[in-house]
Structure 1
Amino acid sequence: MVIEKIINNNIVVSLNNANNEIIVMGKGLGFNKKIGDTIDETAIEKTYVITQEWSVNKLTQMLSEIPIEHIQVANEIISFARVSLGKKLSDSLFLTLTDHIHYSIERSKEGIVLKNALLWEIKRFYNHEFLIGKEALSIIRQRLGVELPEDEAGFIAFHIVNANLDMKEIAQVAEMTEIIQNILNIVKYHFNIEIDEYSLNYERFVTHLKFFVQRLFSDVRLNDLETVQFMLKIKEQYTKEYACAIKINNYVQNVFNRELEEDELIYLTIHIRRITNID
């Protein structure tokens, strides 16, 4: 394995056995080295395949601007996530998460707090990844002495969710998108309205639908009866919205041959109420 490009003293670019470009990390790998030199494989700590969306020039610019401490923290978080989830994550997570963590820390130093509008949905439907995000904040605090808000745990969780898609799920994206659009059309036609696609409530509803459709594909059910019992008054208070949720249930029955549980109908009703806000 030889050096194809030097990013800094600790990160170089090389080629793997499949002739794919890879990021090779390790203390001193690039120090006093030049292109064509052999890499000391005993010093390699991590390797990542360079994905199509990340060109060598782009990642060189990004990683050269990020302190090695931030990169090491991102690696530690990713290693923890892989062990916690018990599955392989996309190598692209290293780049996206490292970039995000770096700028989160920079924003924190400047006193800028970025609110996570989808925090509730992430907590509710991707709780495992959110708990990993919480642990990530602990790692950042311990290693770098930076205290980040809970919103960042949600952002980190979302990066992990995106890296957690297997090939079967990726192949379903087009079909999932069509189903989401059909559900949105049901809402539009039920109320005979145009939905503001730039509103925060629309963004929340679409995010909820993404998680909702993923659960339909994997046949996962919410089973949150305690919370639903508390919210059953929604069914009586928002009768029009609940009727729209029933139409969505009929659509799901046709597509998946599955009837939605009451908890799913209640959550759909809440989101429908938010985006329509019809009295």
Structure 2
Amino acid sequence: MIIEKVINNNIVVSRNQASNEIIVVGKGLGFKKKINDPIDESLVEKTYVITNEWNVNKLTDMLLDIPLEHVQVANEIISFAKVSLGKKLSENLSLTLTDHIHYAIERNDKGMELKNALLWEIKRFYNHEYLIGKEALNIIESRLNVRLPEDEAGFIALHIVNANLDMDEVGQVAEMTEIIQNILNIVKYHFKIDIDEYSLNYERFVTHLKFFTQRLFSDTRLDDLETVQFMLKIKEQYQNEFSCALKINDYINNKYDRDLEEDELIYLTIHIRRITNIK
């Protein structure tokens, strides 16, 4: 790689093998360097590909405000998350998590604690990501000597969930989490029961709701169920559960002005039947 522009001692602009413009970050990368100098790839810690959302100036301005140590910590957390989850994560996570950690540390230094209103739900619905968030707090403390509050483990978890789902904004993941909780409350109040949160059927239902809310935000549909007869049979056999699914439809309609497809209602009915175990 060849330097096209030196931003500062640690940041330079270059191009990758696909000729995409990139920003390259690493300690000393730009020190006493000039245009057309080769980049010492042994010093490279992170590369950022320029996208429609992030132009060179916008990305450069962000990185200039953030200490290199915060970039390094974010990358270490992401590496841990990838290994722990065994999945690829959106490349955008590098930017969003670095930015979040930087401002979380700034808030902490100023004594400004930001409460996470969804912390309890995050622990329940995204426990694996939450545990990664807790380990992230340990990494931050070890590398930067700053102990962030538990609420930040929840915020970091949402960034990881967002990167796993490859959605546009972390705010959407927070809203998805709220929708899941509200749907579970609809089921509880409809049947006037407490749901066993340690049961396999509960895990299946929550998993279904995660994909359900993702489809809701991406405006995609389920594949059609095989037969009309199957749908009619479910509605007839599980009338109370289907009635509960219709309440969920009313909630979605009131919130997003959208009615659920018939097959979506049937799948909800089946999961509600399992989770409530009504005889």
Indicate the residue corresponding to 1:261 in structure 2: 272
Q: What does 1:226-265 correspond to in 2, within 5 Å?
A: 245-248=244-247, 254-255=263-264, 257-258=266-267, 259-261=270-272
Report the alpha carbon displacement of residue 262 of structure 1 after superposing the two structures with TM. Answer: 5.4
Per-residue CA shift, 1:120-166, capped at 9, x if unaligned? Answer: 22211111111111110011111111111111111111111111125
Indicate the residue corresponding to 1:152 in structure 2: 152
Distance 2:163 2:81 in 1: 11
User: 1:211 aligned to 2:210?
Assistant: yes
Number of aligned residue pairs: give it.
212
Report the alpha carbon displacement of residue 4 of structure 1 after superposing the two structures with TM. Answer: 2.4
Find runs of 4+ consecutive structure 1 residues off by over 4 angstroms.
214-217, 248-253, 262-266
Answer yes or no: is the 8 Å Cα contact 1:6–1:34 preserved in 2: yes
Instruction: Give the SS at the match of 1:137.
Output: helix
Q: What does 1:13-162 correspond to in 2, within 5 Å?
A: 13-162=13-162
Identity %: 64
Answer yes or no: is the 8 Å Cα contact 1:22–1:47 preserved in 2: yes
254-263 vs 68-77, which moves further: 254-263
Query: Measured at CA, do residues 263 and 4 of structure 1 come closer, stay the same or move farther in structure 2, by a change above 3 Å?
Result: farther
Calculate the TM-score normalised by the size of structure 1.
0.65
Report the alpha carbon displacement of residue 264 of structure 1 after superposing the two structures with TM. Answer: 6.0
Per-residue CA shift, 1:191-241, capped at 9, x if unaligned? Answer: xxxxxxxxxxxxxxxxx9973615889x9xxxxxxxxxxxxxxxxxxxxxx
Report the alpha carbon displacement of residue 92 of structure 1 after superposing the two structures with TM. Answer: 1.1
Amino acid corresponding to residue 255 of structure 1 in structure 2: E
Q: What does 1:153-232 correspond to in 2, within 5 Å?
A: 153-165=153-165, 211=210, 213-214=212-213
| Structure 1 unpaired stretches of 5+ | 188-207, 220-241, 267-279
Report the alpha carbon displacement of residue 76 of structure 1 after superposing the two structures with TM. Answer: 0.7
Amino acid corresponding to residue 22 of structure 2 in structure 1: I
Distance 2:275 2:52 in 1: 37
Instruction: Give the SS at the match of 1:260.
Output: helix
Distance 1:63 1:138 in 2: 23
